[in-house]
Structure 1
Amino acid sequence: MKINKKRLLPLGVCLFAFAMVALMADKQWSEKQQQIDLITEFYKDHLSRPDQRQASQVPPGSFYSKELEALVDANNQLCYALSRGDDICGYGADGDVFLDAQEVSPSLDFERAGFRAERVGENMVEAVFNVYPDMGAAYERQIRYALVYEDDKGWRVDDMQFAQGRSMREELQQENDAVLARARDLADTAGWVFNYLGNEDMLDRAVRFIDFPVQVCDQYGICAAMKRDDPRLLQALDVLADRNADLTTLPKSGEIQAADGKVVGIGPLDFTFRNRAWWVTKVDLRRL
């Protein structure tokens, strides 16, 4: 039997095209499933943990995109270095970001939460669950995850979108900006410092605002550079605690403009702006 090569060629082309279409469809299905699996597996792990996990505690490179991880890291570093008062600092520090709640049912787990995830757009996965399953639909949460593909890691979360149009990226940037703004505000820094100095039980908190080594001058004009653990520093702070500061002399918010190296004296303390914040750089007991 003779084989008609003229007929085989179009047939081969058709079969090849069909195979390519099937391969592309399978690849697209696989990528869509990978997106859903990323979010589902994360929640299986998250809801099995006995302790709450902060946004900054997610293992590097495992969940966030490089850009989002950089924002989370910046937030963590800014809070550690510049948030020196008693304000809560850290994205989601007062709740659970991934559950969009401050409190959840003590018995909550993956199964009881009724978790489900589905794609709701191009590279977008919506997670739906209930943080108080016994309390009804009022406690249902919907969080959308915008995903991006990174060559070295695969699909990663580039943003989280919550109810009322809230966005993880936007909230992180807002908090980072707020931390920097407070650190640049001399009124905020001085307010915390003199508040702590007014209470002998809080002198250690005032130390958070001191840039070491700090210059300390006693009542007789003898000055020395002191480290954090120098007992003479605590003695000087005790003297300040015994003298109630005149808080009416504190600057108003925004009254003093920050500039690198700028020094402003308030009562017995000199504040210097450096490293993105105001720091106590001199304690002069002669100015009491």
Structure 2
Amino acid sequence: MKFNKKRLLPLGVCLLAFAMVALMADKQWSQKQQQIDLITEFYQDHLSRPDQRQASQVPAGSFYSKGLEELVDANSQLCYALSRGDDICGYGADGDVFLDTQEVPPSLDFERSGFKVERMDENTVEASFNVYPDMGPAYERQIRYSLVFEEDKGWRVDDMHFSQGRSMREELQQENDAVLARARDLADTAGWVFNYLGSEDMLDRAMRFIDFPLQVCDQYGVCAALKRDDPRLLQALDMLADRNPDLGTLPKSGEIQAADGKVVGIGPLDFTFRNRAWWVTKIDLRR
């Protein structure tokens, strides 16, 4: 049997083109499904947990893009190093970021939430659910996820968009900036320190603001560099607590400009600005 090569060639080209189109369509479907699966599987896991999961507790590389993960890590590090008062610090620490609510009923699970997910465009997926399904539509939530494709990981979340135009990236950056601003404000630091020194049962909290080794001079002018576990430190703090410091002498917010190495004396304490914050570096009981 003889084949007409002139007829077979166009047929082969058509078959090849059809195969390429089918392959591209399959690839596009696969990428769309990967986006849906990323968000769906995350919520299936999240809503099966007995305790709330904070943004910083998501395993590295599993959900966030590289850029968003860097912002989350920076927030955790700043809170650990520089948030030394009693303020709540940490993005979403007072609620559940992924459910956009402060409290979650213990009976809520993936099925009861009515979870749905929908692709809005090539790089955006919207998750919708109800955090209190028994209480009607007032507790419905919609969160849009901006996604990016990373070669070594696949699709990852680059931002979360909440109601009222709120964005995870923007809120993280705002909190990071606020932590740094408070650490640079001597009025804020001194206010916490002297407030703690005014109560004997809160002296240990004042130690959060001390940069060790701490120079301590007693009432006779004998000075020594003390480590955190030195028993003489608590003795010095006890003596300060007995003095009932006058909080009216503290600087006002923004009155003292921060600069590396700058030292400001307030009563018996010296505060030094270093490592992005004001720290107590000296106690002088003669003052």
Query: TM-score under structure 2 normalisation?
Result: 0.99
Alignment of 1:62-141 (within 5 A): 62-141=62-141
Q: Deviation of residue 8 (structure 1)?
A: 1.1
Which one-letter code corresponds to 2:12 in the other structure? Answer: G
Name structure 2 gaps, 5 residues minimum: none
Aligned counterparts of 1:32 and 1:123: Cα–Cα separation in 2:
9
Encode CA deviations 1:91-122: one digit per residue, 9 max, x unaligned.
00000000000012220000000101110112
Secondary structure (helix, strand or coil) at the match of 2:42 reads helix
| Counterpart for residue 48 of structure 1 | 48
1:223 corresponds to: 223
Matches of 1:106 and 1:132, distance apart in 2 = 10
Q: Per the alignment, in what secondary structure is the counterpart of residue 281 of structure 1?
A: strand
1:12 aligns with 2:29: no
Alignment correspondent of 1:60: 60
Separation of aligned partners in 2, 1:8 and 1:175: 67
Distance 2:163 2:226 in 1: 51
- The sequence identity of aligned pairs, in percent, is 89
Matched, 1:240 2:244: no
Q: How far off is 1:162 after superposition?
A: 0.4
Structure 2 match to 1:31? 31
Provide the C-alpha distance between the structure 2 equivalents of 1:74 and 1:25, rounded to a whole number of angstroms: 40
Q: Secondary structure at the match of 2:244?
A: coil
Equivalent position SS for 1:8? helix
Render the CA deviation track for 1:244-282: whole Å, top value 9, x for unaligned.
Answer: 112121111001110000000000000000000000000
Which residue does 1:166 correspond to in 2?
Answer: 166
Structure 1 match to 2:205: 205
Which letter maps to 2:126?
E
Runs of 4+ off more than 6 Å = none
C-alpha separation in 1, matches of 2:121 and 2:208 = 47
Task: State which drifts further: 122-131 or 1-10.
Answer: 1-10
Cα deviation, residue 72, structure 1: 0.3
> How big is each residue's C-alpha offset from its partner over 1:203-233, in whole Å with a ceiling of 9 and x where there is no partner?
0000000000000000000000000111111
Q: Secondary structure at the match of 1:159?
A: strand
Distance in 2 separating the partners of 1:49 and 1:120 = 28
- Quote the offset at 1:123 in angstroms: 1.1
Partners of 1:59 and 1:221 lie apart in 2 by 52
Find the aligned partners of 1:121 and 1:195 in 2 and give their Cα distance.
Answer: 53
For the pair 1:21 / 2:16, whether they are aligned, the reply is: no
Equivalent pairs, count: 287
Cα distance in 2 for residues equivalent to 1:205 and 1:69: 30
- 3-state SS of the aligned residue for 2:22? helix
Mind listing any 5+ residue stretches in structure 1 that lack a counterpart? Answer: none
Whole-Å Cα distance in 2 between the matches of residues 2 and 232 of structure 1?
A: 105
Aligned partners of 2:152 and 2:24: how far apart in 1? Answer: 21
Q: Distance in 2 between matches of 1:179 and 1:241?
A: 27
| 1:2 Cα deviation from its structure 2 partner | 2.7
Q: Which amino acid aligns with 1:57?
A: Q
Distance 2:88 2:103 in 1: 17
Matched position secondary structure for 1:286: coil
1:185 corresponds to: 185
